[in-house]
Structure 1
Amino acid sequence: MTSPTVSRLRPDELGAAAPQLAELLVDAVDGGASVGFPASLDRTAAEAWWLSRATALADGSHVLLTARDGDRIIGTASVGFASYPNGRHRAEIFKLLVHRDARGRGLGRALLAAAEHGAAGAGATLLVLDTETGSPAEMLYRSAGWTAAGVIPDYAADPAGELRPTTFFFKSPVSECRTE
């Protein structure tokens, strides 16, 4: 396995990347990740979900970072920018996924750092995200300097359909990531 690279996916690359993105999303759900989909998620539905992001990628309201090992996509992190005029200073990190066979190599941390840096470079001064309480992702966010804002019980169903608590996090300021 080579050293993975993290880069921003261009809107015109989405169609070609969609099958690999779908495979990654299905792997995450099959591994029990609570990322918005039931255990029955198939590749066709997963690919359709990624392709539904095309407009947001094209207009810049959604940035998709991919981690690749050679030509294979093994991780993603997404940044969504607020559309309301009073929220243009904030961005949400979501769909931070690392393929199960690529975990333990610091890829999640690298994707998170790239997402933070990119959001700050685009002017975001407040970042938010949420994750299943008690998940490995929660430990990652805490160790990366994110602050827990609170826990909402029974917020989202895991892939098996069981309602689970969700921890909401924020990170501010992100000025250390800003580019001049």
Structure 2
Amino acid sequence: MEITLLNGQQTEAAIPALSALLADSIEDNASMGFMAPYDNEGVETYWQQVAAGVAAGSLVLLAAEIEGEIVGTVQAGFAQKPNQPHRADVMKLIVRRKVRGRGIARKLMEALDTVCIEAGRWLLVLDTATGSDAEAIYPRLGWQRVGVVPDYALYPEGGYCDTTFFYKRLGDQPR
């Protein structure tokens, strides 16, 4: 498995593979911001916006590949407000169902930690569906649970989804 930090052009070129990865997650009823049945055009538009953010430097995208196939991704959006130059929002940790349980999520998150600290982003925040398999991963990776907001989002197939928020400090940073 190889973890790659994609640039804007690489992200644009990978849109079909990234769309298929996100579709796999939506089909698994993961709360990813899309409703079922998902709209291919809407998913592609989403990835085009990600590619633009990567090209602009406001977003980083890491991809995990096995034998040339993208099987996982994670993103960090760099806070753009002047009073938050140290913070990033972690988004869309996705691992294809057929390869889960191989440590891909852990490797993506560890690589993201490195990228963020190199960019001066030492405070990371994220949210995930309460009770999901993903929720169990984060504490094992050093994330601190903040709390739960009930009915925060909808699952792709409908029904309200409670959301758990986490944060993580990277390295010895000022308080």
Asked if structure 2 preserves the Cα contact closer than 8 Å seen for 1:133 and 1:151, the reply is: yes
User: Residues 8-157 of structure 1 correspond to what in structure 2 (within 5 A)?
Assistant: 8-157=5-154
Aligned Cα RMSD in Å? 1.4
The separation in 2 between residues aligned to 1:104 and 1:42, in whole angstroms, is: 28
Which residues of structure 2 form unaligned runs of 5+? none
Deviation at 1:62, TM superposition (A): 0.4
The separation in 1 between residues aligned to 2:76 and 2:35, in whole angstroms, is: 22
Report the secondary structure of 2:33's partner residue: coil
Asked if structure 2 preserves the Cα contact closer than 8 Å seen for 1:28 and 1:100, the reply is: yes
Letter in 1 for 2:171: S
The corresponding residue for 2:171 is 175
Deviation at 1:10, TM superposition (A): 1.2
Deviation at 1:15, TM superposition (A): 2.3
The separation in 2 between residues aligned to 1:69 and 1:44, in whole angstroms, is: 26
Deviation at 1:42, TM superposition (A): 3.4
The separation in 1 between residues aligned to 2:81 and 2:48, in whole angstroms, is: 24
The separation in 2 between residues aligned to 1:167 and 1:139, in whole angstroms, is: 11
Task: Summarize deviations over 1:45-73 as a string: whole Å, max 9, x none.
Answer: 21221012232111111000000112211
Deviation at 1:124, TM superposition (A): 1.1
Higher deviation after alignment, 38-47 or 127-136: 38-47
Report the secondary structure of 1:34's partner residue: coil
Q: Sequence identity of aligned pairs in percent?
A: 44
TM-score normalised to structure 2 length = 0.95
The separation in 1 between residues aligned to 2:40 and 2:113, in whole angstroms, is: 29
The alignment of Structure 1 onto Structure 2 pairs a total of residues equal to 173
The separation in 1 between residues aligned to 2:40 and 2:66, in whole angstroms, is: 21
The separation in 1 between residues aligned to 2:39 and 2:23, in whole angstroms, is: 7
Deviation at 1:24, TM superposition (A): 0.1
Deviation at 1:14, TM superposition (A): 2.0
The separation in 2 between residues aligned to 1:134 and 1:28, in whole angstroms, is: 16
Report the secondary structure of 1:97's partner residue: strand
Asked if structure 2 preserves the Cα contact closer than 8 Å seen for 1:129 and 1:169, the reply is: yes
Letter in 2 for 1:125: W
